[in-house]
Amino acid sequence: MFFSFSSGFFSIGTSRRHLQFSCPGIFAGALLLGASALAGGAAEATPAFRDPALPLDTRVADLVSRLSLDEKAGLMKNATDGVPRLGIPKYDWWNEALHGVARAGDATVFPQAIGLAATWDDAFVREVADTISTEARAKYNEALAKGNAGERYRGLTFWTPNINIFRDPRWGRGQETYGEDPYLTGRIGVAFVRGLQGDDPRYLKTSATAKHLVAHSGPEATRYKVNVEPPKADLYETYLPAFEALVREGRVESVMTAYNALYGEPCSSNPFLYGILRSWGFSGHVVCDCGAVYCIYEKYQLARDFPEAEARAVKAGLSLRCGLGDAQLAVAVRRGLLTEAELDAGLTPLLRTLFRLGFFDPADRVPFSSIPVSENNSPAHAALALDAAQRSIVLLKNDGALPLDKKKLRRLAVIGPNADSVPVLLGNYHGTPTAPVTVLAGLRATLGPGVTVEYSKGCDYAEILPGKTVVPRTALSAECDCGEPDEGDRSGLMAEYFANPDLAGAPAAKKRNHQIEFAWGGKAPADGVPASGFSVRWTGTLTPALAGEYAFTITARGGVRFSAAGTALLDAWTAAPGERTYTVKSRFSDGSPVRIELEYSAHAEAEPSIALRWTPPPSNSGFAAALANARAADAVVFVGGISPELEGEDMRVDYDGFSGGDRTRIELPAVQQRLLKALAALGKPLIFVNLSGSAVAFPEIDACANAIVQGWYPGQSGGIAIADVLFGRTNPAGRLPVTFYASTSDLPDFADYHMANRTYRYFTGKPLYPFGHGLSYTTFAYRSLRVAETPDGSRTVTVDVTNSGKLAGDEVVQLYLQEPASSHPRASKTLAGFRRIALRAGETQTVALPLTPTSFRRWNDEKGAYAAPSGTWTLLVGSSSADIRIRTTTTLP
């Protein structure tokens, strides 16, 4: 007897003559033979769960009834083994699509989520998400044909979007969010979910996940064990509204719980939070962040062991566990910690998602099963990624230097650590673009051979902490025949592991190691290799960031040899037992790749370990070349900021001002500020392009640069989009989804989850650039603000907006509410509506912005519920939270 999957068909038989059934998914094929038939008994009728004519709940219940306890438990972890006797193969629920299908090979890479939010265009974001889901289905259909649809990152259940509130710019994962405002986050989030899930009344195109419920927003270092207790007003007015919008309006299929605890109970086992989800009518499944259930007992110590932690979470409402180890739910049931009925209640919504994806239905019934792989990374999708990048760019300052005139340029100096960086285009949770365009490449393509574009890096991002920096993966590259997919990621070194201490014979295993920092702790480093007495050879190339002398620090327990560019730098192969640290130096003349080789022998070390660190030349070593370049140029474009290599999720960072993926200071790193000031002193037009996933403080650069552009992490076509803005082919209209503060000293304690003095709603100081800010190459005038009321308490606000300049452009009309005076501390203003419009020069458009009773609700602590404060409300309409052009009032009884 055998099972096979091929080209969307599931086959079963006992010989080469077998039955074959059309299927769209990995739970593929209408299995017409029951368990008794598989054992040699008589065939039964088609199982109810395989009958598309039956109601969904009937089909799900039938499948649940056919599963054993152990099979049920096995289906409630992210990487399942399937149920072969029912024709259900393995499947991994973990897939990513934050701004394009991620970690699954070539895909269209759109601007990072914070950049999508900067478009302030929810209809456009829905189009982007729909395109992402098209590529997801195309990839899934291809994986079916190849027989690997059950592997991680090949499925249709996506753990995105991240709708946490970006309450503090120091948070490294803020780049994944839609900014600091709950209303904007909700509108962009709903659009993204609708684009991912599609609008078919029966089938989901893909499954989206609203994450991380709730209040997750740094610091990264404490996320696994922190208890947050915001005031209830902050919880209900800031942290929860976007989740409510995605559940009620977006009908999001899944919600992911956060690591942190809320009011003393981890979010993954928090009955209070699950009760809120049910009150909103949520009918999908809940998944925990990876390892969060493990944290219930290991970090919070609220359970005696893993089975008890899993039982605690499932009893509260969890359906799917991502993380460590085998599912322990069957153990929990057998120990009486959980009833099988409670287990079924958790499994049921999980299976319902699979049915809605069409995994149990014939292909011809599922409208997405025929999307071809040619849709992936298509020219049309690449054009949309460029459009998205153009829409996301924010013009922060312009004293008339922009747009640059190509006809007046003979030579352009391009300087800065982000000018020719591919990683800075991509942010985190990204796919692999086939033809990424850096800013330098975009400028050269735009200007052509008639203008000399001279590049000098000038400086690194920031000061590296000497001797403490592990050589980063982005500096290393290797081809690796490791027998595992690299999905286009060739960073790191190829490691050959030998089952002896002498590098003798053929390697027992090969891997790609992205960084060299290992302390194996008595565990074998690879399959077929002992825990001690082994050896490793790492090979590949290293690309220096700057020319100059590099110091390499190697700390190891065991023997070590190291060479670079064909020169042996270290031979300590017969080192005495114990930890030893060696420092060697090598000079590199430019940024060309050099071959390196590192060999290690664990000898008889009981605790083998090794780390390869470096200290590059001083970060200002490129100043002289950059200044010489600028002196010879007609204009200077400095492309700086920070990088996803510095800010992100729970990551090691060894630059001054950064820690664990977060920032300790929000100021533009000092080395970049020094170079920018020196460039400004030359008197040439200076344009500063800041690339970052978060707000950066640079008031002194605002004072000396002629123009400043915020480009975010703009995706695969970011370099073209930025060039288009700088040279006027695109009129910028992005708006800030976050406040840009002037200093770290403006911020409250990072670990404090109270909203007091945070974001534009509560900040009492003067920002560098306010929330909603963004300039244009044209101007807009507002007039005739009206409010029309309806009996149900809804209102429609209309305003006439005119393009009063000479160029066509987009304006983002923003509506804010100020509530009546109150003895309770409240927001200074709250975004309640927005609309992005395109206007020709001289054109006028009437913009309508709806307000519902929900727009006016505020949390009332005395009532323990929402209420709309009575009195006179002020309606503010303008171009940013600080640029209010027109206002009126309305009264609530």
Residue 481: CATH number of its domain: 2.60.120.260
Nearest by Cα to 433 from 444, 419, 423: 423
pLDDT, residue 547, reads: 82
Assigned domain for 755 exists: no
pLDDT tens digits, 812-846 = 999 999 999 875 668 999 999 999 999 999 999 99
Give the span between the Cα atoms of 594 and 429, in whole angstroms.
Answer: 29
Cα(508)–Cα(528) distance, rounded to whole angstroms?
Answer: 6
**pLDDT score, position 653:** 81
Pair (33, 71) in one structural domain: no
69 CB burial (10 A radius; 0-12, 13-18, 19+): middle
Please tell me the predicted confidence (pLDDT) of residue 385.
99
Reduce the DSSP state of residue 855 to 3 states and report it.
helix
853, 868 Cβ separation under 8 angstroms: yes
**Nearest alpha-carbon partner for 259 in 323, 192, 346:** 323
Q: Burial level of 230, CB count in 10 A (0-12/13-18/19+)?
A: buried
21 confidence band (pLDDT: 50, 70, 90): very low
Burial 354-390 (b: 16+ CB within 10 A, else e): bbbbbbbbbbeebebbebebebbbbeebbebbbbbbb
Q: Is the pLDDT of residue 743 over 90?
A: yes
Query: Which residues lie below 8 Å from residue 681, measured CB to CB, with a gap of 6+?
Result: none
Q: How far apart are the C-alpha atoms of 681 and 104, rounded to whole Å?
A: 47
Task: Tell me whether the omega of the peptide bond preceding residue 161 falls within 30 degrees of 0, making it cis.
Answer: yes
Co-location of 242 and 168 in the same domain? yes
- Is 772 inside a domain boundary? no
Whether residue 627 is found in the same domain as residue 610: no
**Which residues of 503-575 form beta strands (DSSP E)?**
509-513, 517-519, 535-542, 548-557, 559-564, 567-572
Structure tokens at 302: 């609220």
Q: How many domains does the chain contain in total? A: 5
Q: Is the pLDDT of residue 93 over 70?
A: yes
Contact 594, 565 (CB under 8 A): yes
Q: How confident is the model at residue 57 (pLDDT cuts 50, 70, 90)?
A: very high
Q: Which pLDDT belongs to residue 826? A: 82
Q: Please give the pLDDT value at position 824.
A: 67
Amino acid 623: pLDDT: 94
Please write the tens of the pLDDT for every residue from 108-131: 999 999 999 999 999 999 999 999
Band (655; pLDDT cuts 50, 70, 90):
confident
Q: Are residues 437 and 336 in the same domain?
A: no
Give residue 44's pLDDT. Answer: 61
Task: Provide φ and ψ at 307, rounded to 5°.
Answer: -55, -40
pLDDT at 479: 85
**Strand 209-213 vs strand 254-257: parallel, antiparallel, or unpaired?**
parallel
State yes or no: pLDDT of 875 exceeds 90.
Answer: yes
- CA 167 to chain centroid, in Å, comes to 16
Q: Taking CA 380 as the corner, what is the angle to CA 378 and CA 381, rounded to the nearest 5 degrees?
A: 65
Instruction: For residue 587, give the nearest of 601, 567, 604, 558 by alpha carbon.
Output: 567
The pTM for the full model equals 0.88
Q: Which residues are known to be catalytic?
A: 289, 647
Q: Is position 754 within any domain?
A: no
Of the residues 615, 630, 663, which one is the last residue of a structural domain? 615
Regarding whether 635 and 698 lie in a shared domain, the answer is yes
User: Using one digit for the tens of pLDDT, what is the confidence trace for 528-560?
Assistant: 999 889 999 999 999 987 788 999 999 999 999
Q: What is the DSSP letter of 264?
A: T
Q: Per residue in 328-380, pLDDT tens?
A: 899 999 999 999 999 999 999 999 999 999 999 999 999 999 999 999 999 99
Which CATH number goes with the domain that contains 862? 2.60.40.10
Higher pLDDT, 249 or 652: 249
CA distances from 695 to 115, 570, 587, 652 (A): 12, 43, 36, 21
Domain boundary among 615, 631, 653: 615
Indicate the pLDDT class of residue 4, thresholds 50, 70 and 90.
very low
Q: Tens digit of pLDDT for each residue in 615-636?
A: 888 867 789 999 999 999 999 9
Residue 758 included in any domain: no
Whether the Cβ atoms of residue 108 and residue 100 lie closer than 8 Å to each other: yes
Span 251-299, pLDDT tens digits: 999 999 999 999 999 999 999 999 999 999 999 999 999 999 999 999 9
User: Which residue range is the domain that position 703 belongs to?
Assistant: 392-463+620-749
- In a shared domain, residues 665 and 598: no
Model confidence at 53, in pLDDT bands (50, 70, 90)?
very high
Rounded mean pLDDT of 412-417?
A: 98
pLDDT exceeds cutoff 50 at 17: no
pLDDT at 825: 66
- CB-based contacts of 387: which residues, under 8 Å, 6+ apart? 124
What is the average pLDDT across 170-190? 99
Give the percent of the chain with pLDDT over 90: 84
Last residue of some domain: 749, 772, 796? 749
How far apart are the C-alpha atoms of 702 and 658, rounded to whole Å? 23
C-beta separation of 819 from 171 below 8 A: no
In this structure, is residue 769 part of a structural domain? no
Q: How confident is the model at residue 486 (pLDDT cuts 50, 70, 90)?
A: low
Please tell me the distance from the alpha carbon of residue 98 to that of residue 176, in angstroms, as a whole number.
7
Tell me the pLDDT band of 485, cut-offs 50, 70 and 90: low
State yes or no: pLDDT of 564 exceeds 90: yes
Q: Is residue 377 part of a domain?
A: no
The per-residue pLDDT for range 581-594, each reduced to its tens digit, is: 899 999 998 778 99
The answer to whether residues 81 and 226 belong to one domain is yes
Judged on CB neighbours under 10 Å (0-12, 13-18, 19+), 178 is buried
Name which of 148-162, 477-491, 493-507 the model is least confident about: 477-491
Helical axes 340-356 vs 306-316, angle rounded to 10° = 70
Residues 674, 572 within the same domain: no
d(CA 436, CA 443): 13
CATH code for position 305: 3.20.20.300
Cα 719 to Cα 91, 372, 385, 424, 459, distances in angstroms: 38, 29, 12, 10, 20
Asked if the structure places residue 382 within a domain, the reply is: no
Let me know whether 600 and 690 are in one domain.
no
Q: Indicate if 454 and 486 belong to the same structural domain.
A: no
Bigger pLDDT: 487 vs 279: 279
Q: Are 364 and 413 contained in the same domain?
A: no
For residue 101, pLDDT over 70 is answered with yes
Average pLDDT score over the chain:
92
The residues, any chain, with a CB within 8 Å of residue 675's CB and separated by 6 or more, are: 415, 416, 458, 459, 620, 623, 626, 638
User: Is 11 within the bounds of a domain?
Assistant: yes
The whole-number pLDDT of residue 11 equals: 35
Q: What is the pLDDT of residues 706-738, one digit of tens each?
A: 999 999 999 999 999 999 999 999 999 999 999
Residue 505 has pLDDT above 50, yes or no: yes
Render pLDDT for 64-77 as a digit per residue (tens, 0 to 9). Answer: 999 999 999 999 99
31 and 65, same domain (yes or no) = no
β-pair partners for 454:
413
**pLDDT at residue 488 is higher than 70:** no
